[in-house]
Structure 1
């Protein structure tokens, strides 16, 4: 259980808050690259700040404060002209660094134009996501994680909106116990039809559907290990007196997790505050096997999410699609077969900002407790002027590999050896990742 003060500390992310200052020491997902496809200008809100993202005529990305330095008009409606972004109100022109190039309504020889600076922020595109750095000084280096070093052909990026605080949205992804209930299906589908869908295929090296394992083995033993990137989380479900189902996932500090989607694919997912009352999840799906069928995966996700805001078609306004007959006969929730809806209901139903002072935690919440302790400690480190975990130097970033994920069945007594061997074999067979060793 957390105190009111602690809950406030970890959930508020404005620029003047301790958690907000720490989060601004990291690159944050700001948009999908595809969002600039039709019109290369996009207004967005990130960590409570209003910003405008654009790609100039030369193809260079830029991110500025959204409201014009002149009189506050919205630059998201601006025009890409003359090497920059021009405000519709009076024609002021800013380049990607925020420098004012023209103030056309002013007299000839205007000497104040160079002082009219629109604040700008570093941006970079990786894995189909545009990342932004809102902090001071030099941004940290990116780790050599699978999602960043895999070729474009083997990755796919998407996002979705949750109408709640970022922390409860993240915590569902590092909670191994909930899957046996929240994502329980009463029938097992044909695993050959499971492409692009989590928990619908078979565990690695077996023909046992994951839905069957979650349904029949509902009491996992959870192990949590501190790592140089955050936490490694193992959920062990005892199949018989010799074998266990082993699922290895990871918390990457400060707000991402890396989990298995299938025997060949992993999900690296961030939960990013729009503000303290809503957040986007951003995910990069990375394949160690065949190239990703991007069109199929995008089509699957657009069955649930609407553009341009990537908002779920199921939510509070329609009871998340709840159907009592389905809940009796088909799914545990009665909310359909897309687990994103299940997670959305779970985190939004806790309230816009969850009150953690009222919780009664158990042993199955081991990873949640470990992460909260880590989060509080790193917020304090950042407040004291120290470099928090995963704010990496260029040298440290090169050593940061993986991290490994596994979903399979191995010998209970040697489960650590098992998951490491599965990861090594998968990497050895991947054309792009054979020389990379996860941690």
Structure 2
């Protein structure tokens, strides 16, 4: 059983907290590139209880600054983009992407005040449609050569969504292979040819069997968890008959991401990023090993549920997630529609703003969650001791961190382990872009 103090330690991420100090050692998604429109690319961002402003200047350079102006604390997110930086609307003080004060126009002619003022600035880079910021004290780690970062822009698609709960319980639903047989169960299978852009709706690779049928009829997977250079590899095996086994390979990328299969040709790399202790965003990069992604279709599909500008779900706790008791009887396990994002949101938000883990009773299928929590606690302790932690990598190490393999398919029961590895190699060899060997 977990104590209240242990639960506090692994969930709270404000400045100075143990988990907060750990997560600040890593790049964090802070915005979608789509959120910085051409006409005024400025956005307020809240990350781990701190407030920032992200912008793109006239030369196309991204900047990330503390949101409060160092003059008298006004909101820089309301500032003017001009003259090589972001100008505060209160007194016109101007700051560039590096935080340097370029001018203090209200001061007397010849004033050198701007030379003595600097706004806190943070590294920010664009990767596959997501802006990653770094708010740690030391030099940031390198980005691994994972598929989502190696693929050309045409073969990726990025999106996000808000969960009104703590980041850790939101992450843990994604590293739980067993829940899909229940939470995402559909009582009837749809035409898999209409499954593009939708998770758990197509056919498992190397078969004509809809994934919905696999999850529904084979609800007790054997779960294998093994350590990996990037975190953990999870394999869920579902024997279908004497000759065939369904194999689903997923990955936990430390500290707070996972890589899972979406379809036979597409994977999802997803981060759960704390806004504060009681809210988080999921950020996802969809990576295609087949045809270029249809960004317009995938965006349109997701905007049916998510509402701009804050990417909040139209189905939420205030309307009971669209629950329909008649649907629950005959169509879906939850009665909350056919979008699995709604199911996940209900599951994690219903645990409370911060799940009370002192009341939980973990089972055999929770072995992935148990293994991740051990990694997390170990990394928090190492951070407190000033020691390096998992995935604090340099450029040389990053170049060799590829993949990771993420497969959902049906293969020979006696060769299931070889099957998923061969499937990954085959997909990479046939990819229209040079997919790194996993």
**TM-score tier (shorter):** over 0.9
**How many Å separate the matches in 1 of 2:394 and 2:48?**
23
Deviation of the 1:102 alpha carbon = 1.1
Q: Deviations over 1:67-126 (max 9, x none)?
A: 100111100010011111100111111111111111111111112211111100000000
**How many Å separate the matches in 2 of 1:254 and 1:60?**
28
Deviation of the 1:140 alpha carbon = 0.6
Matched, 1:85 2:86: yes
Deviation of the 1:412 alpha carbon = 2.6
Find the counterpart in structure 1 of residue 232 from structure 2: 231
Deviation of the 1:242 alpha carbon = 2.7
Deviation of the 1:414 alpha carbon = 2.2
* Maintained 8 Å contact 2:40/2:81: no
Find the counterpart in structure 2 of residue 400 from structure 1: 401
Find the counterpart in structure 2 of residue 437 from structure 1: 437
**How many Å separate the matches in 2 of 1:405 and 1:101?**
48
SS at match of 1:69: coil
- Which shows bigger deviation, 378-387 or 337-346? 378-387
SS at match of 1:121: coil
Find the counterpart in structure 2 of residue 2 from structure 1: 2
Q: Deviations over 1:358-406 (max 9, x none)?
A: 1001001010000001100011111111111001111110110000011
SS at match of 1:186: coil
SS at match of 2:315: coil
**How many Å separate the matches in 1 of 2:393 and 2:387?**
12
* Maintained 8 Å contact 1:288/1:433: no
* Maintained 8 Å contact 2:166/2:354: yes
Q: Deviations over 1:292-327 (max 9, x none)?
A: 000000000000000000000000100000001111
Find the counterpart in structure 2 of residue 411 from structure 1: 412
Find the counterpart in structure 2 of residue 103 from structure 1: 104
* Maintained 8 Å contact 2:206/2:411: no
Q: Deviations over 1:248-298 (max 9, x none)?
A: 000000000000000000000000000011000000000000000000000
* Maintained 8 Å contact 2:56/2:62: yes
Find the counterpart in structure 2 of residue 21 from structure 1: 21
Deviation of the 1:232 alpha carbon = 0.2
Task: Could you tell me which runs of 5 or more consecutive residues in structure 2 were left unpaired when the two chains were aligned.
Answer: none
Find the counterpart in structure 2 of residue 215 from structure 1: 216
Instruction: Within 5 Å, give how 1:76-225 maps onto structure 2.
Output: 76-225=77-226
Matched, 1:380 2:381: yes
User: Normalising by structure 2, what TM-score?
Assistant: 0.99
Q: Which runs of at least 4 in structure 1 moved beyond 6 Å after TM superposition?
A: none
Deviation of the 1:413 alpha carbon = 3.0
- Which shows bigger deviation, 108-117 or 9-18? 108-117
Find the counterpart in structure 1 of residue 342 from structure 2: 341
Deviation of the 1:209 alpha carbon = 0.4
Instruction: Within 5 Å, give how 1:413-428 maps onto structure 2.
Output: 413-428=414-429
* Maintained 8 Å contact 2:160/2:283: yes
RMSD (Å), alpha carbons:
0.8
Deviation of the 1:137 alpha carbon = 2.4
SS at match of 1:176: coil
Find the counterpart in structure 1 of residue 267 from structure 2: 266
